[in-house]
Amino acid sequence: MSEYASVNQANHRLVMIMEKLNKYGRVDVQEIAQELDVSTATIRRDFNELERQGHLRRVHGGAVLSNVSTTFEYLYHAKVALRMDEKKRIAIQAAEEIQDGDAIFFDSGTTTYQIAMCLSDKKELTVITYDMSIATVLNNHPSIQVILTGGIVRQGYNVLVGSITENFIRNMMVDKVFLSADAIHASFGISNANYVESGIKSLLVSAGKKIILVADHSKFDKIAVSKFCNLSDIDMLITDNQISHSMAESIRESGIEIKCV
Amino acid sequence: MSEYASVNQANHRLVMIMEKLNKYGRVDVQEIAQELDVSTATIRRDFNELERQGHLRRVHGGAVLSNVSTTFEYLYHAKVALRMDEKKRIAIQAAEEIQDGDAIFFDSGTTTYQIAMCLSDKKELTVITYDMSIATVLNNHPSIQVILTGGIVRQGYNVLVGSITENFIRNMMVDKVFLSADAIHASFGISNANYVESGIKSLLVSAGKKIILVADHSKFDKIAVSKFCNLSDIDMLITDNQISHSMAESIRESGIEIKCV
DNA sequence: TTTTTTCACACAAATTTCATGTTCATATGT
DNA sequence: ACATATGAACATGAAATTTGTGTGAAAAAA
């Protein structure tokens, strides 16, 4: 609970800055410092950090939006770094679907990362992923072979993207794919807040014998910019118990096995 | 200088344990704890860490050698994690060879890692590597495109190996390759303490227009188990000023440009 | 120009993280 | 059954990180 306190405090400032920036196009050092009750030096450091990440551009007295428009996705992921309890419960359930000897693919994301953390008692797994954080956390596990797809490192996200990654996935067939998503909608299908990873995800649903979607309740009944597959492409959904009854019903009607934890 | 003190202290314990283990086949918690003047709890933690890395196996009261024999290479790298000053000086010189717009390949290793840390003022670089640590440290640099080759994650070393990696490199041609090595010998050539990365390195010398070898003086006049290329395959050598005069001479005679820093 | 504001850098204070040691209930081997 | 080893929980001090403050330089405003 308090284990994320300092991270979130800093993160919260960055989110506030980006939200304000997104609304007004420009923010002041002084103004933000007062609003968040920290020194101007701290806000300057925050601005520099966000500029380094390419999300804004410094100007005298404040900052303006960068021409590269990643604001929406940035906010999306920065905010969603919460709901850890749900994600961990989902991860434990997901890990139970994995048998010794399986070849599995982990999509990128915090939930799939949590699944990777639950594999300590598994044996002889082959894990493939395009998420460097997942590869790193499994690096020292004695009986898991980890394969990283290769590709262009996506600025600030620790994942590999582009045609190298996509071609790799095209030649791949694993037992289980653990898929994540930004938004799930009964009629629109499953979508993501950015295009680059979307291309990868749409290939993933054809790269495994069983496609397992992991997503906490906050992702449902939403639509994000880039659709990558239909609900019917999924074999199983693992989510938490705060998902609405009607939503669960309509998913079950699509022929998807659903587990709420 | 003191910034690595704690790391080295812990690292020193691990090296001692592995050396003793290598000599006697088994070590005791009590014995090691006394010898290194730390608590048994610390030694247990060390044993657990080494077991997690696959270098030994815990038994009651102590530890025995793991069946996987990586001891030699482990000791090699653990010990060589020193000489940071030299490595940093070499890295600064190496970075000067890089021009804006270059496509470069970084071999794995601590020296090449240091080069990656010296790129802050470069622009429009394309960096390719099979070393995840290097990819990670460059991850947030705004004007560097980082490409990771893909491959099997090598247990405990954070690098990618195997046919996936090798095939990737076969189809590659960069401006400059920064190569590292475990051992350099005037007549035997350039060699490495393990086979898996050796295969990659031998491909690397054909994958760039200019091959630059970076190595501190401790690597010279040594032979390691797996040779991967000849001295004549190298275009430039960057090393420190403690290299012997005769060695420098015979390298220069092979037609290699040599820089001592 | 002069004045004011903003900035970057250096240093200090506060806070967090981390390695290690200690204690204690439980496991294990003889 | 006994002695020892173990792992978990907690304490502690050191190191690293984050934040705040002050100062002189640089930039904007007057």
Choice between A139 and B214, residue whose per-residue pLDDT is larger: B214
Region A57-82: what's the mean pLDDT?
A: 75
Of A56, A79, A102, the last residue of a domain is A79
Position A81 scores a pLDDT of 61
H/E segment holding residue A18: helix A5-24
Q: Same domain, yes or no, for A60 and A88?
A: no
Position A192 scores a pLDDT of 93
pLDDT of A6 above 50:
no
Q: Do A164 and B147 touch (CB under 8 A)?
A: yes
Q: What is the CATH number of the domain that holds B152?
A: 3.40.50.10470
Domain count, chain B: 2
**Given the DSSP bridges, would you call strands B144-148 and A151-153 parallel, antiparallel or unpaired?**
antiparallel
Q: Are B136 and B160 in contact (CB under 8 A)?
A: no
Q: Which runs of E-coded beta strand occur in A5-155? A: 26-28, 56-59, 62-65, 103-106, 125-129, 144-148, 151-153
Range of the domain at B94: 83-260
Distance D4 C1' – B29 CA (angstroms):
12
Q: Same domain, yes or no, for A35 and A148?
A: no
Position B206 scores a pLDDT of 97
Share of chain B above pLDDT 90, in %: 60
Region A194-202: what's the mean pLDDT?
A: 94
Distance of CA A201 to the CA centre of its chain: 12
Q: Same domain, yes or no, for A47 and A141?
A: no
Nucleotide D16: nearest residue by CA–C1'?
B3
Q: Same domain, yes or no, for B69 and B139?
A: no
pLDDT tier at A215, thresholds 50, 70, 90: very high
B108 φ, ψ to 5°? -80, 165
Position B152 scores a pLDDT of 96
Position B15 scores a pLDDT of 86
Backbone region of residue B232 per phi and psi (left: phi > 0; alpha: psi in -120 to 50; beta: other values): alpha
pLDDT of A106 above 90:
yes
Minimal Cβ distance to B132: which of A132, A147, A155? A132
Of A79, A114, A133, the last residue of a domain is A79
Task: Give CA–CA dist A46/A11, Å, rounded.
Answer: 9
Residues A131-159 as b or e (16 or more Cβ within 10 Å = b): bbbbbbbbbbbeebbbbbbbbbbbbbbbb
Q: What is the pLDDT of residues A157-188, one digit of tens each?
A: 889 999 999 999 999 999 999 999 999 999 99
Position A21 scores a pLDDT of 87
pLDDT tier at B7, thresholds 50, 70, 90: low
Q: Do B147 and A152 touch (CB under 8 A)?
A: yes
Q: What is the pLDDT of residues B113-155, one digit of tens each?
A: 889 988 877 889 999 999 998 998 888 777 899 999 999 998 7
SS3 content of chain A, % helix, strand, coil (to 5): 45, 25, 30
pLDDT of B185 above 50:
yes
Q: Same domain, yes or no, for B114 and B181?
A: yes
- Chain A closest CA to B10's CA: distance in Å? 18
